[in-house]
C-alpha cells in the first residue's frame, strides 16, 4: 500500500514538473512579424528569419531555363534534346528543421523548366532511377503514345524517349502521371514547359514561379505553401528587380488538395495572359485566381523603387509560406534600351 | 546433519533460481540484441501539448515527447498559420523530456485557438483551446479565491448534507437501510462519473503512450485495494478501541469522498486555469449540489451513534476540504496526468466505500442484501444523481 502510494506520488511528481535538458546560457533575440522583440535562452524556430539551410535554392531556380541541346534536322527543323531523371528516395530539408521525402525530376522540386520555340522538335530522354514507376505527362499537343499515361516507365533505370513538336505557344506544366496520381504530384514530380512564339516576346527579366504545397504529414492537407517549394524563401531573400524594366513571370499553379490558389501583386498591376497562348493580354489586374495546373504569363514593371510584397490573397496560403518580396532597385541605365509590345 | 541441512537449503535456492534464470534467458532471446523474432514495426514520433498558457502578447506551450523515439521541434503555428517562435531550453526532446515553446502572438480574450507544433519529419500535432484567457499567475488573492470556491463546493454542501442526521436518527431500521443503500447508489454514480471524467481527460490530453484506460484501471484498483485493506484494519481495530464501527465506516466514507472532492477541486481549478469560464461555473454549481448528498452518505452510518456533532464536523472537513487543495493544484500546477491519477484514486476510494457500506448493511440486516429497502434505496440513489446531472 505505502509502496504503491510512493510510486504513484513519484510518477506524479515527474509528470507534473517538466524535465528539461541542460539549458543554454546564451541569449537569442528575434523579431516577430509584428515587430515585437523576443529574448530567449532557447532556440529560435523561424522559417522566415533564420538563414535557410535548404539544399534547393529557389533563387537559382527562378531564372533557370533549360533550352536543351540544340541541333538541326535535315529539313532544317530545330531539335532540342533534354534528359530528365526521376528519383523518389531523396530526403530534403524543405523548411528549416523539416525533412521531407521529395520525389524529383533532375533532383529538384519543381523539376527543370524546359523551354523550346514553337515548331521545334522536343526530344526528352527520360530515365527513371526511382523505386516506383514514373512517367512524364506534358500538357500541350502531341501524339497519343507520347502522353506519359499509358507508357509507365519502370524504376531502377527504366527509360523512355518522349518526342513531339513544341506547341502551342504558352506556359505548360508537365508532371508524372502514374497512379495514385495525387501522391506522385504532391511529392514533387512536376515542372514547367515553356513554348516561345517564333516571333520572340519582348526582352524582359524573366522568371518562373511554380505555386506548390507540401503535405508533410500525409493527411491530404498542405502543411506548407510556396512559390518554388521553400516556404517564405522570397520573403527572406527578396527578388532583386529594377525600376522601368519589364518583368515577365511564368506562373503555374501545382497546388494539390486546395481548389484554388492566387497571385496578388502589391503597388502595381500586371498584364495577364492566361495559359500564355495569346500575345494579347486578357486582363490588367493585381489579382488572378488559379485552379489546379492553371497557368499564365504576367508582365509588369515598377515605377517606384522599394519593397513590394507578392503573395496568395488566399491569406492562409501566404501565412503558410506562399509570400515573397520584390526589391525594386533604381534602374541606373534608364529605360531607353527596354522595348516591348512591337 | 548440518551438511545435509545446508545442501537441502542449497537445493531449495537452486530450485527457485533455476527457472528464473531460464526465464531471463528466454526474455533475452526474444528482446535481446540481434533478435529478429519480434519486429515491432516503425516507431512513430509523438509529442503531447500538455499545457497552453496565454500570457501578455505570447502563447506558451509545454510540449512533452511522449513517443518511443526522440524528436526535434521544428515549427509552431497558431490556427494553422506559421509563426516565428522560441523553444526553451532547446528543440531536441528525448523520451518524456519537455520543452517550452514561446509563440509571440497578439491573442484575443475568450476566442478559441488551435496551436500546432510541427516536428522534423513534417508531422504536425495540434491542441485546441476553447477560449483564451490570461494564464493564472500564482498570487495570494487567487489562492484565496480558490479556497473560497473549494469551501463552497466541498465543505459547505457536505455540512448541509450532514443536517439530515436528526431525520435519519428517527426512522426505523428498514428506512435506515434504505438510506444506507441510497448512499451507496449515490456513490456508485459518483464513482462511474469519476471514471468517465478520468477517461475523458486521458483521451483529450494524455499521450497514447500512457495507455490512459489502463492507467485509470490500475490506479483505481490500487487505490481500492489500499483503502480496502486500511479500512478493514480500521474496522477491526474499532472493536478494541473507542472508535465504534459506524464511526470507522463514516470515517472511511469521508476519506473516500475527500479524495473524490479533491478530484472535483482539480477539475474546477483546471477549468478556471484553462479559462473555460462557462465550464468552470457549471462544475461549481453541479459539484456543490451533489456534494450535499455526500453529507448524507456520511451522516447515514453515524445515525445510530450518540454525541456525534464534533466527529461529524471533523468528517465534513475531511470530506470537503480536499476540494480546496484540488482547486489549488488544478489551477496552478495542472497536468493531465495528475488529474487522471487523482480522479482514478477517487473512483477507487468510492468503490471501496460502496463495498464497505454493503457489508455493513448485510451485517446489520440479517445477512441479507435483497430487501426491498436496499434495492429501492440503491436504485433511487442512482436516479437522483442522474437527474441532478441532467439538471445542472
Ligand atoms: Cu511518379
Domain boundaries, chain B: 47-129, 140-391
Q: Which residues have beta carbons under 5 A from ligand 1 (an ion)?
A: A 134, 176, 178, 184, 189
> Rounded to whole angstroms, how far apart are CA atoms A93 and B77?
19
Coil, strand or helix at A218: coil
Least confident of A164-178, A288-302, B141-155: B141-155
Give the best-scoring range by mean pLDDT among A194-208, B138-152, B329-343: A194-208
What's the pTM value of the predicted model, to 2 decimals? 0.73
Q: What residues 144-183 of chain B have any CB closer than 8 A to a CB of chain A?
A: none
Name the CA radius of gyration of chain B, rounded. Answer: 26
pLDDT in tens, A220-278: 889 999 999 999 999 989 999 999 999 999 999 999 899 899 999 999 999 999 999 99
**Cβ–Cβ < 8 Å for B178, B374:** yes
> Rounded to whole angstroms, how far apart are CA atoms A104 and A109?
6
Average the pLDDT over A114-140 and give the result: 95
> Environment class of residue B212 by beta-carbon count within 10 Å: exposed (0-12), middle (13-18) or buried (19+)?
buried
- The HSE-up count of residue B309 (CA atoms within 13 Å, CB side) is 1
> Rounded to whole angstroms, how far apart are CA atoms B3 and B10?
11
Q: Give the contacts of B350 (CB within 8 A, at least 6 positions apart).
A: B187, B188, B190, B191, B194, B256, B257, B259, B260
Buried b (16+ CB within 10 A) or exposed e, A174-207: bbbbbeeeebbbbbbbbbbbbbbeeeebeebbbb
Q: Pick the residue from chain B with its C-alpha nearest to A44.
A: B86
> Rounded to whole angstroms, how far apart are CA atoms B55 and B132?
10
Look at strands A270-274 and A295-300 and give their pairing.
antiparallel
Q: Per-residue pLDDT for B303 more than 90?
A: no
**Segment (H or E) for A263:** strand A261-265
Q: What residues 62-101 of chain A have any CB closer than 8 A to a CB of chain B?
A: 94-100
Average the pLDDT over A280-306 and give the result: 95
pLDDT at res. B129:
84
Q: Per-residue pLDDT for A340 more than 60?
A: no
Which residues in B lie closer than 8 A to residue A224 (C-beta atoms)? Answer: 82
> In Å, how far are A140, A264, B131, B203 from A310, measured between CA atoms?
29, 6, 34, 43
Contact A33 B84 (CB under 8 A): yes
**Cβ–Cβ < 8 Å for A63, A207:** yes
Q: Does A49 touch chain B (CB under 8 A)?
A: yes
Q: Give the contacts of A33 (CB within 8 A, at least 6 positions apart).
A: A48, B83, B84
> Rounded to whole angstroms, how far apart are CA atoms A204 and A340?
8
Coil, strand or helix at B37: coil
pLDDT at res. A25:
53
CA dihedral B262, B263, B265, B271 (to 10 degrees): 160
Average the pLDDT over B66-80 and give the result: 88
Distance A134 CA to ligand 1 centre (A): 4
Q: What number is the ipTM of this complex?
A: 0.80
- More confident of the two residues B65 and A30: B65
Average pLDDT, chain A: 87
Known binding residues of A are 134, 139, 175-176, 184
> Which of B178, B161, B353, B168 is CA-nearest to residue B260?
B353
Name the CA radius of gyration of chain A, rounded. Answer: 24
Q: Pick the residue from chain B with its C-alpha nearest to A95.
A: B74
Q: Options 2.60.40.420, 3.40.710.10, 3.30.750.24, 3.40.50.620; which CATH number does A58-329 get? A: 2.60.40.420
> Which of B30, B39, B359, B323 is CA-nearest to residue B156?
B323
Average the pLDDT over B176-186 and give the result: 79
Contact A45 B122 (CB under 8 A): no
Distance A179 CA to ligand 1 centre (A): 8
Q: Per-residue pLDDT for B66 more than 50?
A: yes
Average the pLDDT over A111-132 and give the result: 95
Which residues in B lie closer than 8 A to residue A43 (C-beta atoms)? Answer: 86-88, 90-91
Q: Per-residue pLDDT for B74 more than 70?
A: yes
Average the pLDDT over A314-337 and give the result: 83
Known binding residues of A for Cu cation are 134, 139, 175-176, 184
> Rounded to whole angstroms, how far apart are CA atoms A186 and A180?
10
Q: Pick the residue from chain B with its C-alpha nearest to A35.
A: B104
Which residues in A lie closer than 8 A to residue B100 (C-beta atoms)? Answer: 18, 42
The nearest CA of chain A is from the CA of B72 a distance in Å of 8
Q: What residues 172-231 of chain A have any CB closer than 8 A to a CB of chain B?
A: 214, 216-217, 223-224, 231
Rounded to a whole number, what is the distance in angstroms from the first to the last CA of chain B?
78
pLDDT in tens, B344-359: 877 787 787 778 778 7
Q: Per-residue pLDDT for B366 more than 50?
A: yes
Q: Where exactly are the structural domains of chain A? A: 58-329
The dihedral of CA B283, B288, B294, B298: what is its sign? positive
Query: Quick count: other Cβ atoms within 10 Å of Cβ B16?
Result: 9
Which residues in B lie closer than 8 A to residue A17 (C-beta atoms)? Answer: 333
Q: Does A135 touch chain B (CB under 8 A)?
A: no
> Rounded to whole angstroms, how far apart are CA atoms B251 and B246?
8
Which residues in A lie closer than 8 A to residue B92 (C-beta atoms)? Answer: 21
**Cβ–Cβ < 8 Å for B85, B95:** no
Cell numbers 532544317 correspond to A76
> Which of A315, A82, A313 is CA-nearest to residue A191?
A82
Which residues in B lie closer than 8 A to residue A97 (C-beta atoms)? Answer: 72-75, 91, 120
Confidence label for A309 from pLDDT (cuts 50, 70 and 90): very high
pLDDT at res. A194:
96
Q: Does B75 touch chain A (CB under 8 A)?
A: yes
**Cβ–Cβ < 8 Å for A190, A102:** no
Distance A125 CA to ligand 1 centre (A): 16
Cα B359 to chain centroid, rounded: 25
Is domain B47-129 annotated with CATH 3.30.60?
no
- More confident of the two residues B382 and B307: B382
Q: Which residue(s) pair with A253 in the sheet?
A: A211
Amino acid at each position: 500500500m505505502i509502496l504503491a502510494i510512493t510510486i504513484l506520488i513519484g510518477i506524479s511528481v515527474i509528470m507534473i514538473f517538466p524535465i528539461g535538458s541542460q539549458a543554454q546560457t546564451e541569449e537569442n533575440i528575434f523579431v516577430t512579424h509584428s515587430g515585437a522583440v523576443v529574448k530567449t535562452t532557447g532556440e529560435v524556430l523561424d522559417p522566415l528569419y533564420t538563414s535557410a539551410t535548404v539544399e534547393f535554392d529557389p533563387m537559382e531556380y527562378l531564372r533557370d531555363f533549360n533550352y536543351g541541346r540544340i541541333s538541326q534536322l535535315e529539313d532544317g527543323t530545330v531539335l532540342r534534346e533534354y534528359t530528365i531523371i526521376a528519383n523518389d528516395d531523396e530526403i530534403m530539408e524543405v523548411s528549416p528543421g523539416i525533412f521531407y521525402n521529395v520525389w524529383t525530376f533532375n533532383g529538384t522540386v519543381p523539376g527543370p523548366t524546359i523551354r523550346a520555340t514553337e515548331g521545334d522538335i522536343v526530344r526528352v530522354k527520360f530515365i527513371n532511377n526511382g523505386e516506383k514507376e514514373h512517367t512524364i505527362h506534358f500538357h500541350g499537343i502531341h501524339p497519343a503514345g507520347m502522353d506519359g499515361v499509358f507508357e509507365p516507365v519502370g524504376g531502377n533505370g527504366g527509360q523512355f524517349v518522349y518526342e513531339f513538336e513544341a506547341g502551342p505557344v504558352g506556359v505548360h506544366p508537365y508532371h508524372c502521371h502514374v497512379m495514385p496520381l495525387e501522391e506522385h504530384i504532391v511529392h514533387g514530380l512536376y515542372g514547367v514547359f515553356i513554348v516561345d512564339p517564333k516571333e520572340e516576346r519582348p526582352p524582359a527579366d524573366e522568371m518562373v514561379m511554380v505555386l506548390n504545397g507540401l503535405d508533410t504529414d500525409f493527411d491530404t492537407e498542405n502543411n506548407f505553401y510556396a512559390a518554388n517549394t521553400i516556404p517564405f524563401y522570397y520573403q527572406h531573400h527578396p527578388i532583386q528587380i529594377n525600376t522601368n524594366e519589364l518583368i515577365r513571370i511564368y506562373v503555374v499553379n501545382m497546388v494539390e488538395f486546395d481548389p484554388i490558389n492566387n497571385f496578388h501583386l502589391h503597388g502595381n498591376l500586371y498584364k495577364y495572359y492566361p495559359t500564355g497562348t495569346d500575345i494579347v493580354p486578357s486582363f490588367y489586374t493585381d489579382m488572378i485566381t488559379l485552379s489546379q495546373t492553371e497557368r499564365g504569363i504576367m508582365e509588369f514593371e515598377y515605377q517606384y523603387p522599394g519593397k513590394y510584397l507578392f503573395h496568395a490573397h488566399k491569406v492562409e496560403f501566404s501565412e503558410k509560406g506562399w509570400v515573397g518580396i520584390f526589391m525594386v532597385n533604381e534602374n541606373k541605365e534608364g529605360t531607353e534600351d527596354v522595348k516591348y509590345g512591337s | 546433519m548440518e551438511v545435509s541441512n545446508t545442501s537441502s537449503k542449497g537445493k531449495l535456492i537452486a530450485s527457485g533460481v533455476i527457472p528464473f534464470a531460464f526465464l531471463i534467458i528466454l526474455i533475452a532471446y526474444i528482446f535481446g540484441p540481434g533478435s529478429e523474432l519480434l519486429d515491432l514495426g516503425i516507431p512513430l514520433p509523438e509529442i503531447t501539448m500538455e499545457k497552453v498558457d496565454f500570457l501578455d502578447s505570447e502563447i506558451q506551450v509545454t510540449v512533452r515527447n511522449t513517443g518511443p523515439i526522440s524528436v526535434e521541434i521544428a515549427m509552431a503555428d497558431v490556427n494553422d498559420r506559421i509563426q516565428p517562435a522560441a523553444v526553451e531550453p532547446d528543440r531536441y526532446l528525448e523520451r518524456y523530456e519537455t520543452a517550452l515553446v514561446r509563440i509571440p502572438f497578439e491573442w484575443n480574450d475568450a476566442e478559441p485557438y488551435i496551436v500546432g507544433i510541427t516536428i522534423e519529419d513534417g508531422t504536425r500535432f495540434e491542441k485546441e483551446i476553447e477560449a483564451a484567457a490570461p494564464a493564472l499567475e500564482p498570487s495570494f488573492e487567487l489562492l484565496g479565491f480558490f479556497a473560497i470556491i473549494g469551501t463552497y463546493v466541498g465543505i459547505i454542501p457536505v455540512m448541509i448534507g450532514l443536517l439530515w442526521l436528526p431525520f435519519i436518527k428517527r426512522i426505523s431500521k428498514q428506512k435506515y437501510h434504505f438510506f444506507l443503500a441510497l448512499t451507496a447508489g449515490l456513490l456508485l454514480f459518483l464513482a462511474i462519473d469519476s471514471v468517465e471524467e478520468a477517461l475523458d481527460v486521458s483521451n483529450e490530453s494524455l499521450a497514447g503512450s500512457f495507455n490512459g484506460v489502463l492507467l485509470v484501471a490500475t490506479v483505481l484498483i490500487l487505490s481500492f485495494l489500499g483503502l480496502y485493506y486500511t479500512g478493514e484494519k480500521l474496522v477491526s481495530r474499532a472493536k478494541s478501541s473507542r472508535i465504534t464501527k459506524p464511526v470507522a465506516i463514516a470515517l472511511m466514507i469521508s476519506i473516500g469522498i475527500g479524495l473524490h472532492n479533491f478530484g472535483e477541486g482539480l477539475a474546477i481549478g483546471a477549468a478556471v486555469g484553462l479559462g473555460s469560464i462557462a465550464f468552470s461555473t457549471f462544475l461549481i454549481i453541479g459539484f456543490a449540489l451533489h456534494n450535499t448528498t455526500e453529507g448524507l452518505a456520511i451522516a447515514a452510518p453515524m445515525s445510530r451513534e450518540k454525541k456525534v456533532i464534533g466527529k461529524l464536523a471533523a468528517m465534513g472537513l475531511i470530506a470537503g476540504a480536499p476540494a480546496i487543495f484540488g482547486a489549488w493544484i488544478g489551477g496552478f500546477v495542472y497536468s493531465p496526468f495528475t488529474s487522471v491519477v487523482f480522479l482514478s484514486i477517487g473512483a477507487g476510494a468510492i468503490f471501496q466505500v460502496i463495498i464497505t457500506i454493503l457489508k455493513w448493511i448485510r451485517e446489520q440486516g440479517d445477512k441479507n442484501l435483497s430487501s426491498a429497502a436496499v434495492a429501492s434505496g440503491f436504485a433511487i440513489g442512482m436516479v437522483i444523481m442522474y437527474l441532478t446531472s441532467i439538471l445542472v
